[in-house]
């Protein structure tokens, strides 16, 4: 008897070794059949060694393995097969044994199904916790990066990188379109991601080799001007009207993400994206902050062609909300900054902005020649006394427009105070500045101002003083302004409506 047990043990070990070896070589389905066949072999070996004394109990191993491998179907078939095998070897045909086998199979199935459900639920929770942890980490890093800048382009690059990076939300491509000042059009602003599958895999290979993290990718996007060059060229060409019922208009009106898996050929704007970016599935997120529509964020997966799920959409919504708030914050800051440096009446830069600009261009040894034109309206007190201050304000506004249209784009015009204006001309010689001043004088003289004919010279005129840093060995802001002011005073003394340098 002891010898038989030893033999059974040795055969069991051999079967286990052979079975496990085959398991690593075969598919999952093959592994299941190997386990079932091995359990049957074990039953036969036990029968041969012990003359089938314990076969009715050993059959429970075969049934249990079958249930684990093939669930209800495996349990029912194995219970019947075990009863038939037992009948063939022992001539026992008791239906009670068959019934017992079926009950045993049912119990094993219920237990394994319960364990399996617990495992599935546990895996789902673990996966969800892992995703949430990843998203929180992304939001933390993105929030930190957003707080470090008030530069709109840098902010947008940070947002897009966090959406597309593997350590971020992992989408293949993303782009942002912002609403223009009129509020009626969406302008393509920035994009990140590949235009082709080959380009996408090349980028992924580079990221994998260098083990870049999200913060690293944000910094790389900031320094690499050539990154996503082709994509950005096409994105910046986008100009979509919001006065038509296209998919972008619908998204902003609803305030909810729009998942598009089938391209509507009747939507011209959507067809444009399909043609330009080879999109087959995309999601559009509205960027809205406190009911203010800022723009849209568009994502897709052109490289791995991975379908975008509801969970994927949900993962982007908090980031899109955060992005909208940050973009709106930068817009408001820019407006406040603009208001702080602009004259409220004429829209020209104010005296505070003039002092800042002058300090940036002087002292002159590093910047080259800087010239300055100081001008004011001749007999403006007479104009105000005759026509009233409201009309006087209208004249100041109109004069500011004449000045804007008379200077180059790189020149800076300021309202210095009252009826005085100043024009800063960087990298401009004295001779060129005199020609510019003369052109402004002629343009003002030939412009029809309200009640200008009531002025002492028969029309509204200005006097101008010109100064250039080339006149001083060591230029300071005071030297330049003081010299221009003296030249302006001489122009007044010489009869007004003149340029003096």
Position with higher pLDDT, 12 vs 218: 12
Domain-embedded: residue 412: yes
Domain-embedded: residue 132: no
Position with higher pLDDT, 436 vs 57: 436
Residue 160 is predicted with a pLDDT of: 82
Domain boundary among 337, 365, 384: 337
Tens of pLDDT along 458-495? 899 999 999 998 877 666 788 889 999 999 999 999 99
> What is the rounded average pLDDT of the residues 324-335?
84
**Both 471 and 366 in a single domain?**
yes
**Both 293 and 393 in a single domain?**
no
How many CA atoms are closer than 13 Å to the CA of 223, on its beta-carbon side? Answer: 6
Domain-embedded: residue 142: no
CATH of the domain at 442: 3.30.70.270
Residue 432 has pLDDT above 90, yes or no: yes
Residue 365 is predicted with a pLDDT of: 46
Position with higher pLDDT, 334 vs 398: 398
Residue 208 has pLDDT above 60, yes or no: no
Domain count, the chain: 3
Domain-embedded: residue 427: yes
Position with higher pLDDT, 137 vs 210: 137
**Both 249 and 366 in a single domain?**
no
Domain boundary among 286, 311, 337: 337
Domain-embedded: residue 97: yes
**Both 50 and 23 in a single domain?**
yes
> What is the rounded average pLDDT of the residues 451-463?
91
Min mean pLDDT across 67-71, 183-187, 205-209, 272-276 is at: 205-209
Average pLDDT, the chain: 81
Domain-embedded: residue 258: yes
Q: How far apart are CA 173 and CA 193, in angstroms?
A: 4
Backbone phi and psi for residue 165, each to the nearest 5 degrees, phi listed first:
-70, 150
Residue 462 is predicted with a pLDDT of: 95
C-alpha gyration radius of the chain:
41
Min mean pLDDT across 147-156, 187-196, 305-314, 413-422 is at: 147-156
- Give percent of the chain with pLDDT exceeding 90: 31
Cα-to-chain-centroid distance, residue 256? 17
DSSP string, 419-453: TEEEEEEET--HHHHHHHHHHHHHHHHTS--TTGG
**Both 274 and 208 in a single domain?**
yes
**Both 389 and 275 in a single domain?**
no
Q: How far apart are CA 415 and CA 399, in angstroms?
A: 10
Domain-embedded: residue 425: yes
The confidence band for 103, taking pLDDT boundaries of 50, 70 and 90, is confident
CATH of the domain at 229: 3.30.450.40
Tens of pLDDT along 22-66? 655 556 777 777 677 777 777 767 666 666 656 666 777 777 788
Residue 138 has pLDDT above 80, yes or no: no
Q: Are 15 and 42 in contact (CB under 8 A)?
A: yes
**Both 115 and 208 in a single domain?**
no
Tens of pLDDT along 149-176? 667 788 888 888 888 876 667 788 999 9
**Both 380 and 254 in a single domain?**
no
DSSP string, 147-191: HT---HHHHHHHHHHHHHSTTTT--SEEEEEEE-TTSSEEEEEEE
**Both 93 and 179 in a single domain?**
no
**Both 373 and 494 in a single domain?**
yes
Domain boundary among 337, 366, 385: 337
Question: What counts of helices (H) and strands (E) characterise the chain?
Answer: 16, 11
**Both 364 and 271 in a single domain?**
no
Domain-embedded: residue 428: yes
Alpha helices in 26-94 (DSSP H): 28-50, 55-90
Map 1-22 to HEC letters. CHHHHHHHHHHHHHHHHHHHHH
Residue 388 has pLDDT above 60, yes or no: yes
Domain residues for the domain of 251 are: 148-337
**Both 165 and 298 in a single domain?**
yes
């Amino acid at each position: 008897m002891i010898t038989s047990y030893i033999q059974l043990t040795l055969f069991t070990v051999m079967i286990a070794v052979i079975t496990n070896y085959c398991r690593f070589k075969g598919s999952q389905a093959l592994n299941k059949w190997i386990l079932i066949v091995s359990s049957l072999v074990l039953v036969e070996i036990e029968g041969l060694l012990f003359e089938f004394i314990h076969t009715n109990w050993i059959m429970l191993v075969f049934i249990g393995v079958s249930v684990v491998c093939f669930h209800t179907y495996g349990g029912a078939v194995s219970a019947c097969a075990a009863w038939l095998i037992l009948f063939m070897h022992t001539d026992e045909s008791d239906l009670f044994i068959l019934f017992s086998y079926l009950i045993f199979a049912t119990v094993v199935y219920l237990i394994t199904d319960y364990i399996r459900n617990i495992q599935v639920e546990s895996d789902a929770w673990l996966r969800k916790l892992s995703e949430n942890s990843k998203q929180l980490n992304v939001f933390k890093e993105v929030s930190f990066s957003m707080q470090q800048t008030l530069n709109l382009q840098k902010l947008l690059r940070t947002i897009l990188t966090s959406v597309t990076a593997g350590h971020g939300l992992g989408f293949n491509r993303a782009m942002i379109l912002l609403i223009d000042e009129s509020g009626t059009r969406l302008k393509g602003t920035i994009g990140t991601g590949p235009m082709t599958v080959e380009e996408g895999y090349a980028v992924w290979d580079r990221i994998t080799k260098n083990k870049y993290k999200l913060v690293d990718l944000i910094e790389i996007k900031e320094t690499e001007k050539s990154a996503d060059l082709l994509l950005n060229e096409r994105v910046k060409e986008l100009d979509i009207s919001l006065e038509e019922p296209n998919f972008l208009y619908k998204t902003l009106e609803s305030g909810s993400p729009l998942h598009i898996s089938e391209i509507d050929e009747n939507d011209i704007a959507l067809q444009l994206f399909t043609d330009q970016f080879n999109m087959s599935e995309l999601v559009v997120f509205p960027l809205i902050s406190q009911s203010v529509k800022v723009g849209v964020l568009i994502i897709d997966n052109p490289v791995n062609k991975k379908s975008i799920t509801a969970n994927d959409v949900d993962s982007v919504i908090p980031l899109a909300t955060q992005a909208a708030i940050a973009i709106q914050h930068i817009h408001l800051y820019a407006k406040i900054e603009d208001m702080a440096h602009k004259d409220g009446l004429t829209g020209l830069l104010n005296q505070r902005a003039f002092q800042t600009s002058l300090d940036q261009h002087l002292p002159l040894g590093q910047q080259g020649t800087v010239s300055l034109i100081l001008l004011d309206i001749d007999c403006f007190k007479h104009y105000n006394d005759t026509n009233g201050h409201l009309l006087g304000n209208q004249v100041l506004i109109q004069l500011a427009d004449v000045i804007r249209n008379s200077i180059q784009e790189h020149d800076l015009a300021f309202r210095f105070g009252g009826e005085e204006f100043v024009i800063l001309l960087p990298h401009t010689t004295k001779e060129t500045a005199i020609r510019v001043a003369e052109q402004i004088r002629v343009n003002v003289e030939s412009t029809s101002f309200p009640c200008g004919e009531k002025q002492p010279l028969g029309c509204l005129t200005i006097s101008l003083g010109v100064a250039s840093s080339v006149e001083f060995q060591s230029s300071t802001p005071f030297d330049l302004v003081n010299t221009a002011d003296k030249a302006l005073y001489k122009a007044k003394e010489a009869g007004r409506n003149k340029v003096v340098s």
